[in-house]
Amino acid sequence: MTTIFDSVGGLEWFTSLVERFYEGVATDPILRPMYPEDLASSVPNTAGFLAQYFGGGSQYYSDERGHPRLRVRHAPFPIDQAARDAWLGHMLNAVRSGGLSPENEEVMVEYFERSSQFLVNIEPEDNRRRIIVKAAEPSEGS
């Protein structure tokens, strides 16, 4: 079975994908503060992670950096639905401009939609679960 990694030609395609993605992030008022000043410094790790995920093998990420632990690595950043939507928009633009087959594009879009939602760590105030502690009412005879 051919992987997406193989069908796009390897790490070079994923590096280009991440560079296109960061072009959008560079001017995004929501996302830019969450990234290092030098966006290029993040390209190798992000491209390596994606290359590994889409079939390239652990030498592209895990052998050097360990398990991806996406939620742990992203926990320090305030990711609400607006940040997720901005991130996803830039990533989907990058994916859709990458010359993928329709099948590979669909797989990647589905992955990014799922994984970006998984990383949301701030819920809107009106959606947060609230625990209401009700004072015990005095029982008869107390």
User: Is 142 a residue whose pLDDT tops 80?
Assistant: no
Q: What is the mean pLDDT of residues 34-52?
A: 95
pLDDT given at position 59 = 87
Q: Is the pLDDT of residue 133 over 80?
A: no
Return all residues near 123 (Cβ < 8 A) that are at least 6 apart: 80
Structure-model confidence comparison of residues 136 and 72, the more confident one? 72
Q: How distant, in Å, are the alpha carbons of 6, 15, 16, 103 from that of 95?
A: 16, 12, 10, 12
Work out the percent of the chain whose per-residue pLDDT is above 70.
87
**Can you give the pLDDT at residue 128?**
52
The predicted pLDDT at position 28 comes to: 98
Instruction: Tell me the pLDDT of the chain averaged across its residues.
Output: 88
Residue 125 — very low, low, confident or very high, per pLDDT cuts 50/70/90? low
For the chain, percent of residues with pLDDT exceeding 90: 69
Give the residue-averaged pLDDT of 82-90.
97
Which domains are delineated in the chain?
A: 9-123 (1.10.490.10)
Average pLDDT of the residues in 91-112: 98
